[in-house]
Amino acid sequence: MHALNPSTAAFAAVALLSALPGTQAAGLYTKSSPVLQVTAKNYDQLIAKSNHTSIVEFYAPWCGHCQNLKPAYEKAAKNLDGLAKVAAVNCDDDENKPLCGAMGVQGFPTLKTVRPQSTKNGKRGSGKPVVEDYQGPRTAKAIVDAVVDKINNHVRRVGDKDIDAFLADRNETAKALLFTEKGTTSALLRSLAIDFLDVISFAQVRNKESKANDMFGIETYPTLVLLPGGDKEGLVYEGEMKKDAMVKFLSQAGQPNPDPAPGKAKSEKKGGKKDKSTSKAAEPSSKSTSAPFSESTDVPPADSKPVVAEVAPPIPAITSDQKLINECLNRKSHTCVLAFVPSAHGEEAEKALASLSEIAFKHAHGQRHLFPFFEVHTENEGAASVYKSLELSKDVEIIAVNAKRGWWRHYAGDYSAESVESWIDAIRLSEGAKNKLPEGVIGEAVETAEEKPAETVEVKVEETVKVEAETEAESAATGAEAAPEATEHDEL
Ligand SMILES: *[C@@H]1O[C@H](CO)[C@@H](O)[C@H](O)[C@H]1NC(C)=O
Ligand SMILES: *[C@@H]1O[C@H](CO)[C@@H](O)[C@H](O)[C@H]1NC(C)=O
C-alpha cells in the first residue's frame, strides 16, 4: 500500500487513488459481527436460494444513516440468530454495484426482506424469492418483529379431527409434533421446519385437543415428540427449547438441509445454459412487470412511509446559454463535466444523469473534491453550437471541458456509473486523451443579478479546494518531473 508522504502532491495522489474504481472500501461490519456479510458473488447462494427468510441491508460505509443503524442491526442479528438471516451488502464495493443496482437500491441504507415463495401445500416454491422493502422503524425490535413475521410457516396445525390423517404415513415420513398451549406458531418451530423441509413433517397440536394429547400421553407443555419413521419408536425431547439442541435431537430422524446447498457450483458448471436460467429465475427483479410474482416483490405498499434514506440528488441543470458560459465556458472556467441531454430526457439520458448524480454524491460524502457536473439541454442554442464545434452527434453526450486550459474530453462508453466513474477518475489523474478546445466555444462571462450570490459561493469553494488538483494536473500535463513521479510512487 502507499506510504504516507507528507508532501502535498503525494497527499493529493492518495486522495485521488482512493476514488479509483476497484478500490475496496472497508465495510461497516467487522468479521466478528453477527451480521452476515454478503457480496454479489454469494448473494444467490446465501440469500436468494435459501429456504430461510433474510433481511438484507444495502449500505455504503460513508453513509451516516447506515452508521446509525449499525448497533440496532447487530442487535437484531443476535436476536434472530438461528431464526432468520440478517445480512448486509456493501454497495460501495465495485463488485457489488451491479447487485445493488439490480435490487433497485436508490439510497442508503435500503432494507429488504427476502424469502422463498411458499406454495399452498406448504412446500417451497421454485420461482423467485419474494423481495419486499422494509420501511419500518430502524430499531432492533421493529426489525426483529418484521422479519419474524416473514418466516414462512411449514408447520401444520393438527387437532383431534385430523391427527389420524397426519399420522397415516408415519412409517414412511419422519414427523415432529409440538404439543403446546399456544395458538400461534413460534419463529423457532417455523425455522426448524424450514431446516428439515422434506425431511421431517412438522405439526403443532394444542393442549385442548384431548384425543391427540392422550394418544401421546402428553401432560406438560410444551412437549416435542419425534416420530422417526419406520419401526422406530417415538422420542420425547427433554431439553430446553433452544435451537441447537433441538436440531440435534431432530437429526435422529434425518439431517437438516445444508444451507447454503453444497456442490451447487459444480452442477452449475455442468448444466451450462439450463442452470443459468434457473439462477436467473432465483434472482429477484424489481423491474420486470411481466413476472408472474411481481405483485409480491419489491412493490412498497401505497400507504407506506417515505424511505428515510440518503438519496443522491440530481445534478444541477443549466437552462440558459449565458449560465453555461458563466459556469463552464469562459476563459476563467475550471473543469466542468457537462451532460448534454434532451430536456425530455428518455432512458439513456436518465441513466447518464443517474450515474453522474451517484458519482457526485459519493464524492461529496467522501469529502473529496470533484469538479462540478451539469445537465445541459440540447435544445438550447448554446448547446447546439457546442455540438457543432465539437462535432458531437448522439442524443446524449458527456464531455469534460476546461476552458481556462483550452481542452475538452469526450466520453465514449456506456452510461453505467462504473464506466463513467473510471472516465472521471482518469480526468482527475490527468490521464487519457485531451482535445484542443475550438476558440468559438468560449464566451464572455456576464454576471446576471440573480446568479451572482450563488456563484460567489461556488467559486469560493472551488478555489480553496481546487489548488492541489489543478497544480497536479498542470504539472502532469506539462511533463514536470516531480509530480508524475510522485503519482507513480503512490500507485498500487
Ligand atoms: C408401522 O410399522 C409398525 C411396525 O412395523 C407396524 O406395527 C404398524 O402397523 C405400521 N403402521 C402403519 C400405519 O403402517
Ligand atoms: C430447501 O428445501 C428443499 C426441500 O424443499 C431441499 O431439498 C433443499 O436442499 C433446501 N435448500 C437449502 C439451501 O436449504
What are the boundaries of each domain within the chain? 1-150+456-492, 156-250, 321-447
Q: 187, exposed or middle or buried, with CB in 10 Å at 0-12, 13-18, 19+?
A: buried
Closest CA to 356 of 312, 388, 410: 312
Buried b / exposed e along 297-309 (16+ C-beta atoms within 10 A): bbeeeeeeeebeb
Residue whose Cα lies nearest atom 13 of ligand 1: it is: 168
Instruction: Give the separation between CA 205 and CA 224, rounded to whole angstroms.
Output: 10
Instruction: Give the separation between CA 250 and CA 235, rounded to whole angstroms.
Output: 9
Residue 207: pLDDT band with limits 50, 70, 90: very high
Residue 108, all three cell numbers: 442508503
Same fold, 156-250 and 321-447: yes
Q: Is 197 in the pocket of ligand 2 (CB under 6 A)?
A: yes
Tell me, in angstroms, the distance from the centre of ligand 1 to residue 237's CA. 22
Q: What is the pLDDT of residues 227-240, one digit of tens each?
A: 998 888 899 999 99
Q: Which overall architecture, per CATH, does domain 321-447 show?
A: 3-Layer(aba) Sandwich (3.40)
Residue whose Cα lies nearest atom 9 of ligand 1: it is: 171
Tell me, in angstroms, the distance from the centre of ligand 2 to residue 50's CA. 7
Closest CA to 436 of 397, 475, 410: 410
Which stretch of DSSP H or E encloses residue 468? helix 452-477
Helix spans in 150-300 (H): 163-167, 187-195, 210-215, 243-250, 264-271, 273-282
pLDDT of residue 275: 36
CATH fold of 1-150+456-492: Glutaredoxin (3.40.30)
Residue 361 corresponds to which amino acid? F
Lowest mean pLDDT of 152-156, 261-265, 368-372, 462-466, name the range: 462-466
Phi (first) and psi of residue 298, to 5 degrees? 65, -5
Residue whose Cα lies nearest atom 5 of ligand 1: it is: 231
Residue 419, all three cell numbers: 464506466
Q: What is the pLDDT of residues 71-124, one digit of tens each?
A: 999 999 999 999 999 999 999 999 999 999 999 998 999 999 999 987 655 555
Residue 273, all three cell numbers: 445454459
Instruction: Give the separation between CA 477 and CA 474, rounded to whole angstroms.
Output: 5
Closest atom, ligand 2, to C-alpha of 195 = 14
In angstroms, what is the C-alpha Rg of the chain?
Answer: 30
Going from the C-alpha of 432 to that of each of 99, 363, 415, 417, 473, the distances in angstroms are 29, 21, 18, 18, 12
Q: Is 490 helix (H, G, I), strand (E, B) or coil?
A: helix
Q: Is 171 in the pocket of ligand 1 (CB under 6 A)?
A: yes
Q: What is the pLDDT of residues 22-35, one digit of tens each?
A: 445 578 999 999 99
Inform me whether the pLDDT recorded for 248 exceeds 50: yes
pLDDT of residue 79: 97
pLDDT of residue 281: 36
Q: 6, exposed or middle or buried, with CB in 10 Å at 0-12, 13-18, 19+?
A: exposed
Q: What is the pLDDT of residues 2-16, one digit of tens each?
A: 444 444 444 444 444
Residue whose Cα lies nearest atom 2 of ligand 1: it is: 231
Tell me, in angstroms, the distance from the centre of ligand 2 to residue 278's CA. 15
Q: Is 231 in the pocket of ligand 1 (CB under 6 A)?
A: yes
**Contact indicator for 87, 36 with CB cutoff of 8 Å:** yes
pLDDT of residue 469: 36
Mean pLDDT of 202-216: 96
Lowest mean pLDDT of 46-60, 299-313, 334-348, name the range: 299-313
Domain 156-250 CATH assignment equals 3.30.365.10: no
Tell me, in angstroms, the distance from the centre of ligand 1 to residue 231's CA. 7
Residue 252 is classified by DSSP as G
What percent helix, strand, coil does the chain show, rounded to 5? Answer: 40, 15, 45
pLDDT of residue 119: 61
Residue 24, all three cell numbers: 475496496
Residue 455: pLDDT band with limits 50, 70, 90: very low
Residue 96 is classified by DSSP as G
Q: Please, which residues bridge with residue 107 across strands?
A: 311
pLDDT of residue 305: 33
**HSE-CB for 451 with a 13 A CA cutoff:** 15
Q: Is 118 in the pocket of ligand 2 (CB under 6 A)?
A: no
pLDDT of residue 320: 85
* The model scores a pTM over 0.75: no
Tell me, in angstroms, the distance from the centre of ligand 2 to residue 46's CA. 12
Mean pLDDT of 255-269: 69
Q: Is 50 in the pocket of ligand 2 (CB under 6 A)?
A: yes
pLDDT of residue 293: 29
Going from the C-alpha of 480 to that of each of 15, 474, 475, the distances in angstroms are 20, 9, 5
Residue whose Cα lies nearest atom 1 of ligand 2: it is: 51
Q: Is 259 in the pocket of ligand 2 (CB under 6 A)?
A: yes
DSSP-derived pairing of the beta strands 223-227 and 235-236? antiparallel
